[in-house]
Amino acid sequence: MTPPLRAHVGSLFIAGIKGTELSKIESAWLRLLQPAGVILFRRNIADATQTHALLSSCAALLHTPSFRCVDVEGGSVDRLHDVVAPMPSPAAVAATHRNRDAHTHGELIAAETHALGFNVVLAPVLDLALPASRSVMTTRVVAPDAADVTAYAEQFLKGLATKGALGCGKHFPGLGGGTLDSHTATPHIARDWPTMWLEDIAPYRALQRHLPMIMVNHATYPSVAESGQQPASLSPFWIDSILRKKIGYRGLIISDDMEMGGVMSQTTIEEACVAAIAAGTDLVEICHQPDLILRGYEAVLREAEHSSAFRKRVTLAATRVAAAKRKHHRTLPLPDSPPPTTITKIRQSIENFCAEIAKAQPR
């Protein structure tokens, strides 16, 4: 039986929630929308047992296995910093120039996230470490050279896979040339097409078969005429023409958080969600405000009910999401709640790794 349109639409959203446990209202809209999954932030994470219980509560309301997402890159972006142990930054790990360190980085992040109940790690960052974005990206990026970025990310993804964690390369097509933080404003990146294809996009081309998900950013690229003035996250050129067709990517395409200033300064949440899916996005991420999640969902549903062309886009994206869940079915079930001894063991491994990385830093 073909799922109803509402089910298809709901399956295109990754939703954030407010606190450390579900409210009655959140339980109601999760049951209604049936999103593809949820994403947690530090505001949702108090300790290992509570985090697992929260994810379990969310999963119990959803009819299909869910994507349970978290940002753990290490360094400045590490939602489990206070719950397990601080993880070294990508820049520090890559600076050792040892493949085994990048692999261990991914393996340890997979171990801690899996133990708490997550199955999607929104990493690695594939942006180039260029002078323009140094103050914004800091230690989140590993190198100015695409080959070095690819080498780190390949080993990191292999490490994630040891525990079945799904990785997500970000932020396509590249934030290395940006001077603004897309959380608050729209970066306008003046890098031309030949440069981007050979440099910024090179890691995505090299790793496309190893990336279960790719996240698209909210920057604009005025020097690439075909991309127009839209943020990449809403752009058919970047998402459909380049990522899907020219590169041939077959995994899931996810938007960066649609509540970020980089896109909200340009349009409404309703228009952004419709435009992203029309451009070829599979999963729309709305991380903070429940009213925006509901508004985005209703806007996509209304457009699908009135436009047969858009309805086909929704169906195609929903089909890809369902296929990805079947493909990764062994990764999606929620593991048992971790005993304290497991967290202690992982914490000690991370602390030992941090010490080893610090010792190996170039002098």
User: Which domain covers residue 103, as residue numbers?
Assistant: 12-359
> What single letter denotes the amino acid at residue 347?
R
- The catalytic residue among 78, 101, 256, 282 is 256
In a domain, 86, yes or no: yes
pLDDT at 225: 83
| Omega before residue 340 within 30° of 0, cis | no
Helix residue ranges, H only, 166-268: 193-195, 202-207, 236, 261-264
pLDDT of the chain, 363 residues: tens digit per residue: 457 999 999 999 999 999 999 999 999 999 999 999 999 999 999 999 999 999 999 999 999 999 999 999 999 999 999 999 999 999 999 999 999 999 999 999 999 999 999 999 999 999 999 999 999 999 999 999 999 999 999 999 999 999 899 999 999 999 999 998 788 888 899 999 999 999 999 999 999 999 999 999 999 999 998 888 899 999 999 999 999 999 999 999 999 999 988 788 889 999 999 999 999 999 999 998 889 999 999 999 999 999 999 999 999 999 999 999 999 999 899 999 999 999 999 999 999 999 999 999 987
In a domain, 2, yes or no: no
Does 256 participate in catalysis according to the annotation? yes
Residue 59 and residue 120: Cα distance in Å, rounded?
14
- The catalytic residue among 63, 82, 145, 183 is 183
Residue 317 and residue 280: Cα distance in Å, rounded?
8
How many domains are there within the chain?
A: 1
Q: Helices 146-161 and 99-116 sit at what angle, rounded to 10 degrees? A: 40
In a domain, 270, yes or no: yes
In a domain, 3, yes or no: no
Residue closest to 312 by CA, chosen among 5, 1, 59, 54: 5
In a domain, 1, yes or no: no
Does 148 participate in catalysis according to the annotation? no
Residue closest to 192 by CA, chosen among 204, 215, 169, 174: 174
List b or e across 4-21, with b for residues whose CB sees 16 or more CB atoms inside 10 angstroms: ebeebbbbbbbbbbeeee
CA angle 180-264-308, nearest 5°?
A: 130
pLDDT at 22: 97
Query: DSSP label at 198?
Result: I
Q: pTM (2 decimals)?
A: 0.97
In a domain, 6, yes or no: no
The CATH number of the domain holding residue 177 is 3.20.20.300
pLDDT at 115: 97
In a domain, 5, yes or no: no
In a domain, 4, yes or no: no
Helix residue ranges, H only, the chain: 5-10, 24-33, 48-61, 90-94, 99-116, 134-137, 146-161, 193-195, 202-207, 236, 261-264, 269-279, 290-306, 308-327, 340-359
